[in-house]
Each structure stands twice: as C-alpha cells, then as structure tokens.
C-alpha cells in the first residue's frame, strides 16, 4: 500500500517513518524545500526520530520526501498532519488545512482514504474539509473515504510513543473507519473506535482543555500558597497520597507548546458559535495568560525598577529537555521584561539560537536569574550568589 503524508513536522515525520518501517511505501509532502532536502539527506529535525531511522527507510525505498503534491497521484491513502495554529487574533487558523485540502482534491483518486490528524474544532472534518475535497475533485462523497484520527504525540516522552499510545479513529462511514483501523493497526498497538467524527474531534480538545483547566487552577493555588507562606509542592504531594480521584498538576510560568494553549481555544471558539459558553475554559485561559505578568511583578518586588537590570532567563523551550519554543511562556516573559527596560539574557543550550541571539553561559554576572524551564544538567551552581526565582515545576 502506498500512502502520502502531508506535513513532515513533529506529527507527520514520526508517522511517516513508523508507517514505512511497517512496510508501507510512504511519500511525505512538505512545502518547506529546505526541510524536504534535509529529510531526504537522512537528517531528522524531530525529537524521537533518529537520522538512521530516516536513512534506512530511504535506502529501502519505503520513504521519500517531496514538496510536489503530484507525487501523490497514485497513493491509496493520504494523511493530513498540517499545523492548525491560532492567528494573531487568537482565533483558529485553518489556512494550512484549506490549502492542503485544495491540493489533495486535484490529485486524489477514486477509492482514496483521506485521514485528518490535525487538531480542529467539532464539525470541521464534515463541514469544512469534506466540501473542499468534493468541490475540487470529480468525486462524490461515496467515492472516497474520510476519517478523523487526532494525533497524540508528546515530544520527548520515552514511555508513551506512537506505537503504544492508543489511537482514536472515527470515520464519516463505518467502511472508512474500518479501512483506517486496518492502516494504523500495522504500527500502532491499540485502536479506539469512535461512533462519530464529532466525538473524536471533541475528545481531542477535551484532553488538553482538561490539562489547561487543572494547570491554571494549581497556578492560582500556588499564588495563594505564596501569600500564605505555604510550600505548594508539599500541598500537592500530600494531596497526591489520596489513592483515587486526584491527579497531580504543578504550577509554572504558564503552559506552552502546540496543544494545551491552543486546543482549548478551538473548543471555546465552537462553543461561542453555538451560544453555549464554556466559562471554565475562558477563565483558565485568562489565568494562564496572566502568569507572565505575575512573575514580572514578583521580579519587580525583588529588584525594584527594572531599567538597566541584568536578568538571566534559564530555559526558553516550553518543556524540559525538548528544543520546541512554540507558545513558550519564557519568551513572553523575556519580551515583557525587555519592555520595562531590563537587559535580558537567556540560557538554553538545547534551543541554542533564537531570534538572532544565542544561548549564554550560566554565570554570576546578573542581578537576578529566573528558572523558567528546568532542563537536565543545568549548572545552577555557576550562578554563585545571584538570587534564583524558580518558575519551573515549583512553588511560586
């Protein structure tokens, strides 16, 4: 079976290599020419995918990357894993999905299986993607199969991988769902069938909305504990001794990454369109977005006027031990501190280079250091007597 995968990012590349390793012939499509060239040279840009994993599949003839959609003219299955971010107004941006769908509609063949893995709000697969595919092709709804199967990739997680993380699958028809289950079952251990596409779309958003709400709640609790001079981590650890009904979440500078800050907004956007408010999500977004300002106030309390103060931000990726800076609260903190006149430096050897600047060594030449993301192996002792404000999984 020959398949195509649209988008070779943190979702598409692991999926492409896993499918190729299981025996499928895979064509990966990405519009980034430099990325395609690098991948075809056996270079990985995704945590968890090794260079040799790519090279082995290229040598075997099971995988090839391209930026030309015409390479998909004879595939039996196309998986869409393009970004669905928020725009500058914090509204869902489906432009990448729309562009991919229009291109796919021009080349897909009768009987093709189309699978959407990108995160979308409920109703998008049926009401947005399906019409685009039909409008651009000569096929009617019964002549191809459409499926929604949301990605569950956690970069850097060595315990839960693509293979052992349960895979949600929902089809526009039962026949479409059965075909997708057969496709995924070759390289994923557990498949979870959904009765409708809308259930699967909503479940994906629930997963990360649940995390946003709980993290935002514990961030508020941490502020309360700081005012009461209580160690919030001790509170959480004690509460976690309850063997049922409790799950530990920890305070931080604010959630980041590709999922938790974004997915709930898709659910919130849909709720507003049907006039059914989700007030807990709205409040959680406000709490999360306010954490950077809270820490700026804490820093101001410690240093006074920030004009000319030298501050070191340690860790600018959104989570420990990964180089991903998407929606990173550390970056928002740096920008806000700079807007108040502080001279801000950053240390993150995993990221290395950001915004035209480079990671600086940890040293004792700063007025204050803030630990934003706690990577393994940080040489915090090099701070000497510099005061360290810990904003990572720690008390606030």
Which residues does the annotation mark as catalytic? 259
In the numeric block, the tokens 């015409």 are attached to 70
Q: Which whole-number Å values give the CA distances from 283 to 67, 115, 330, in the listed order?
A: 41, 33, 21
Dihedral sign, CA of 354, 359, 360, 363? positive
DSSP structure string for 242-302: SSSS-------S---SSSTTTHHHHHHHHHHHTT---HHHHHHHHHHHHHHHHHHHHHHHH
Bridge-based pairing of strands 2-6 and 353-354 is unpaired
Q: 341 in the Ramachandran plot: left (φ > 0), alpha (ψ -120 to 50) or beta?
A: left
Tell me the β-bridge partners of 77: 3, 113
Tell me the C-alpha distance between 23 and 54, whole Å: 14
317-330 b/e with 16+ CB inside 10 Å = b?
bbbeebbbbbbbbb
Residue 282: count other Cβ atoms within 10 Å of its Cβ: 14
Dihedral of CA atoms 61, 62, 66, 68 in degrees, nearest 10, equals 100
- Of the candidates 364, 240, 376, the residue with the CA atom closest to the CA atom of residue 310: 364
Residue 271: count other Cβ atoms within 10 Å of its Cβ: 17
Residue 274: count other Cβ atoms within 10 Å of its Cβ: 9
Q: What are the backbone dihedrals phi and psi of residue 45, each rounded to the nearest 5 degrees, phi first?
A: -115, 10
Query: Can you tell me whether residue 369 is helix, strand or coil?
Result: strand
How many residues are given for the chain?
Answer: 396
Farthest CA pair distance, the chain: 70
């Amino acid at each position: 079976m020959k398949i195509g995968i649209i988008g070779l990012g943190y979702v598409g590349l692991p999926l492409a290599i896993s499918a190729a390793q299981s025996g499928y012939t895979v064509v990966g499509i990405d519009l980034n020419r430099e990325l395609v060239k690098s991948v075809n040279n056996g270079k990985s840009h995704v945590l968890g995918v090794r260079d040799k994993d790519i090279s082995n599949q290229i040598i075997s003839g099971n995988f090839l990357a391209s930026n030309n959609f015409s390479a998909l003219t004879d595939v039996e299955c196309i998986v869409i894993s393009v970004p669905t971010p928020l725009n500058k107004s914090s509204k869902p941006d489906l432009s990448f999905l729309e562009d991919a769908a229009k291109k796919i509609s021009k080349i897909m063949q009768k009987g093709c299986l189309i699978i959407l893995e990108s995160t979308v709000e409920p109703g998008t697969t049926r009401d947005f993607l399906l019409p685009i595919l039909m409008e651009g092709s000569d096929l009617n709804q019964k002549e191809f199969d459409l499926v929604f199967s949301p990605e569950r990739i956690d970069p850097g997680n060595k315990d839960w991988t693509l293979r052992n993380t349960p895979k949600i699958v929902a089809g526009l028809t039962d026949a479409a769902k059965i075909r997708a289950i057969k496709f995924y079952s070759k390289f994923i251990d557990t498949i979870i069938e959904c009765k409708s596409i809308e259930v699967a779309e909503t479940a994906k958003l629930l997963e990360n909305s649940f995390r946003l709400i709980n993290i935002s709640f514990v961030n508020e609790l941490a502020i309360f504990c700081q005012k009461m001079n209580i160690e919030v981590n001790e509170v959480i650890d004690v509460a976690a001794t309850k063997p049922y009904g409790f799950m530990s979440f920890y305070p931080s500078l604010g959630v980041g990454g590709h999922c938790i800050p974004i997915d709930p907004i898709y659910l919130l956007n849909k709720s507003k369109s049907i006039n059914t408010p989700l007030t807990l999500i709205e409040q959680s977004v406000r709490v999360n977005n306010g954490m950077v300002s809270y820490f700026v106030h804490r820093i101001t309390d410690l240093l006074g006027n920030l004009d000319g103060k030298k501050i070191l931000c340690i860790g600018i990726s959104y989570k420990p031990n990964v180089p991903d800076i998407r929606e990173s609260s550390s970056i928002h903190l740096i920008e806000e501190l700079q807007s108040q006149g502080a001279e801000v430096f950053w240390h993150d050897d995993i990221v290395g280079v950001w915004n035209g600047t480079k990671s600086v060594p940890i040293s004792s030449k700063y007025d204050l250091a803030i630990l934003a993301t706690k990577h393994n192996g940080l040489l915090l002792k090099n701070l000497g007597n510099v005061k360290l404000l810990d904003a990572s999984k720690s008390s606030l």
